[in-house]
Amino acid sequence: MDSFSPKHTAGNLSLQSNTWTASKEVNFSCDFNEEFKYILLPVSYSLVCFFGLILNSLALWMFITKMRPWKTNTVYMFHLALSDTLYVLSLPMLIYYYANRSHWPFGVFLCKIVRFLFYANLYCSILFLTCISVHRYLGICHPIRSLTLVKPRHAHMICGFVWTAVIACLVPKLIFVTTSKKGNDTLCHDTSRPDEFHNYVTYNSVLMVLLFILPFLVIVLCYCLMARALCQPRKGLSQTQQSPSRKKSIKLIIVVLVVFAISFVPFHITRSLYYAYRIFDADCKSLNIVNFAYKITRPLASLNSCLDPILYFLAGDHYRTKLLRVLTRQTPNTRSTAYEHPPNGKKIELAFKHPDALEGIESKL
């Protein structure tokens, strides 16, 4: 993030006084030491762009060409991969911006779009991961009811609502974000002008509660209930029969919690601290430390675009099997071959009709 920060020097007292008055006592007078970001951000964003584009393009191709007809879980994962892909496509402009030492030559409109896409991806990812988690919770804890409650067409409607809600919530972000001149350079800010900073922080706090804290609490609740259900043996099923769905659910829990622990939680904590320190007029030394921590967590927040494909591979509906089959160019065994040589025709036919029987009902959702 680039903040509006006039130099804190004795020769600039009149400018400093005007800035303080205009910004309602918000601390904009500190001179941040941000040399580190001109190395950290271009390098980290380049890595995220490279790996994120490859992994998510592969995922989209798999979902569109190899995973049809889509199951409910696949619908959520497709929209998650689409969100990640749109974001990584915007990263080349940010890479150029920070490699060029915070000079933005692309105009105000593209500045707004790039900042918008970061937050759109951030909150769409959180909400789609919440949908995936709730869906898995229903499959584990309410398997019969979930068969009728959530169909793929319902999942498409939910995803449409997620996109609409996130875009609507982020419209003020397009208004707040702007550019400014600093010498011969044009800065692309991701907050607001100093005189609007209090309003921006209020808006951002509401956004964080609605699109981060509440979904995170829902995920934690779902995983606690799932953990309790997974620890109880299911009646009528042996340990061998329960293990496939149990392992898939455990992998989902681990991957989603890792994504939150690495990408989402540190970013929201350091950003909240940074805004609070500026609002409450912290000393420049403390503000520099918080600013440094905040800048480090920004590329971590972007890293979710590379972590999400791990979820598809470990916990997706047959994603790993089909991807490995494509990479090794294996041809799947056809059912007709099995029907031609049935030693016990009826039993073999039933086994092929219900290949997911051992995984429990939730594997069919």
pLDDT tens track for 174-203: 999 999 998 889 999 988 888 899 999 999
92 — pLDDT class (breaks 50, 70, 90) = very high
Who has greater pLDDT, 6 or 245?
A: 245
Q: What is the pLDDT of residue 338?
A: 41
The percent of residues in the chain predicted with pLDDT above 90, rounded, is: 55
Mean pLDDT, residues 147-154 = 83
* Distance in angstroms between the alpha carbons of the first and the last residue of the chain: 41
**Which pLDDT tens digit goes with each residue over 221-246?**
999 999 888 887 665 555 555 566 67
13 — pLDDT class (breaks 50, 70, 90) = very low
Residue 357 has pLDDT above 60, yes or no: no
CA–CA gap between residue 181 and residue 118 (Å, rounded): 23
Residues 6+ apart with CB under 8 A from 205: 272
Residues 6+ apart with CB under 8 A from 276: none
**Which pLDDT tens digit goes with each residue over 101-146?**
999 999 999 999 999 999 999 999 999 999 999 999 988 888 877 7
361 — pLDDT class (breaks 50, 70, 90) = very low
- Scored b (16 or more CB within 10 A) or e, 141-168 reads bebeebeeebebeebbebbeebbeebee
68 — pLDDT class (breaks 50, 70, 90) = confident
Residue 321 has pLDDT above 90, yes or no: no
**Ramachandran class of 3: left when φ > 0, alpha when ψ lies in -120 to 50, beta otherwise:** beta
Q: Which of 281, 300, 287 is nearest to 34 (CA)?
A: 287
Three-state DSSP at 54 gives helix
Q: Which of 148, 147, 66 is nearest to 356 (CA)?
A: 147
Average per-residue pLDDT for the chain: 82
Q: Which of 26-30, 100-104, 156-160 has the lowest mean pLDDT?
A: 26-30
Number of CB atoms found within 10 A of residue 63's CB: 21
Residue 315 has pLDDT above 80, yes or no: no
All structural domains of the chain: 36-231+245-327 (1.20.1070.10)
CA–CA gap between residue 343 and residue 106 (Å, rounded): 69
CA distances from 27 to 102, 149, 152, 161 (A): 21, 51, 50, 38
- Please check whether residue 77 is in contact with residue 316, taking contact to mean a CB–CB distance below 8 angstroms: yes
Q: What is the pLDDT of residue 158?
A: 95
